[in-house]
Amino acid sequence: MVKVLLVTHSFPYPEHKDGVAKINYNLLANRNGYIADLLTVDDSGHKGIEGVKIEYIPFIEPPTKAELLWRWLTSTYPINVIKYERYMDLLVRKLEELHKNYDIVHLSSPFFAGLHSKASKELQRKLMLFPIDSVSLNKERMLEKERSIKKWAVTGIELFKYRRFERLNYANYRKTVFVSDVDSDYVKRLNPAIEAESIPNGVDISYFKSCGNIEEEPFSLVFTGDLSYPPNEDAVRFFIEEVRPLIMKRIPLKLYVVGKRPKEWLRELDSEDIVVTGFVEDIKGYIERAGAYISPLRFGSGIKNKVLEAMSMSKVVIGTPISFEGIEIKNGRNCIVVESNPAKMAAKVVEVLSDQKRCEHIQRAARKLIEKSYSWSGITKRYAELYERCMKECRTEKARESQ
């Protein structure tokens, strides 16, 4: 069986802290056809994962804001790559020590992509990069929607730097794996030499399952996600300011905005009609209570965990094309796809909430799709197949060189 060392920039627990943690945690907790251990930055508050050996590199204080700004202004690197530069030498030394015990080294961060050039040839063979999403694609879409001139300029510089970073570094790896074909196709256009492919995220289908013990509120919608994340904040603002008023002219509407770190402007809107919860331990109850799930994303990249979770709970998800990227959906059969046009989105919401009986087939089909194609056991099996394939390539390469 393939032995994998998963390398992350933070401990992937609790699972809900961000989308990357969710993927990394489930790769470790739901191993299916491979053995996996973890190398991460020291986290004294961590909890163990059954059957997983955990190795650490020590935590290093991050640079000050002034140091970070100066380095960003004088470097070709994007800001988050600069933040993690401080770990690179320690990480390489630790990997040179550990990699002999593993067949594959899975780097689960775009910010570690520069590591390849510092590694020995033996370690380079085993390295696979999992950036999750294309940051360039995310920045490109963000730039199109940015209102502030200052933020537009900063985003434009970051886009230029990330394109260069992805183009030059990702081609060094045997495989660079994303969660969506849209992202993998995008980086291949940046550099055709990049060996990119995609494996989607999964869902814990036994957890994200409708229990039927919470009464559904008619004429209600729910949105979930980290509300400090620009695509999520933009989506909520767009819906509240431009879509919701059109809906309210035709039907009453209660909106649940569920997620950590809402900005002040959003917290001020908390009321009987717009419920802003902040962080909650369990989002399931809010999803089950709502008449439908809304995902009005206008930019972003990668597959959307929150959409998978809502579909797993047999909810009608009304979302933009970006919301469903990487998910093999069929519009009108297992979800509702609508442009980020206020009038069109409002009309779809009114249609769904006014006659939910007509949408029962969508609810059932959404759950069936997740069970069939997006359970974590099925997704980790696909990772196992990729690991196995790359391990064989590695060994063939080594044997050929020794002849």
Going residue by residue through the chain, which has 403 residues, state the pLDDT in tens, using 9 for 90 and above.
999 999 998 888 766 667 788 899 999 999 999 999 999 987 666 667 788 999 999 989 999 999 999 999 999 999 999 999 999 999 999 999 999 999 999 999 999 999 999 999 999 999 999 999 999 999 999 998 888 899 899 999 999 999 999 999 999 999 999 999 999 999 999 999 999 999 999 999 999 998 878 888 989 999 999 999 999 999 999 999 999 999 999 999 999 999 999 999 999 999 999 999 999 988 999 999 999 999 999 999 889 999 999 999 999 999 999 999 999 999 999 999 999 999 999 999 999 999 888 889 999 999 999 999 999 999 999 999 999 999 999 998 888 887 7
Q: Hey, where are the domains in the chain?
A: 2-202+376-402, 220-373
Q: What are phi and psi of 259, to 5 degrees?
A: 165, 160
Nearest-angstrom CA–CA distance, 73 and 338: 40
Residue 240, helix vs strand vs coil: helix
What DSSP string describes 205-221? TTTSS--S-SPPPTTEE
Put the strands of the sheet holding 127-132 in their side by side order. Answer: 54-57, 34-41, 2-7, 104-107, 127-132, 176-178, 196-198
The helix (H) or strand (E) run that includes residue 142 is helix 135-145
**Given this chain, do its domains 2-202+376-402 and 220-373 carry the same CATH topology?**
yes
For 380, the token pair is 């980790």
Neighbours of 245 (CB within 10 A): 12
The helix (H) or strand (E) run that includes residue 278 is strand 274-278
> Which pTM was predicted?
0.88
Cβ proximity of 152 and 143 under 8 Å: yes
Q: Tokens 């294309």 label which residue?
A: 134
Using the 8-state DSSP alphabet, how is residue 108 labeled?
-
Cβ proximity of 349 and 318 under 8 Å: yes
Cβ proximity of 262 and 270 under 8 Å: no
pLDDT at 37: 96
For 131, the token pair is 């950036």
Instruction: Give helix 135-145 / helix 181-190 axis angle, nearest 10°.
Output: 90
Into which CATH architecture does domain 2-202+376-402 fall?
A: 3-Layer(aba) Sandwich (3.40)
Using the 8-state DSSP alphabet, how is residue 228 labeled?
T
Cβ proximity of 315 and 363 under 8 Å: yes
pLDDT at 215: 86
Nearest-angstrom CA–CA distance, 372 and 209: 14
Which class does domain 220-373 fall in? alpha beta
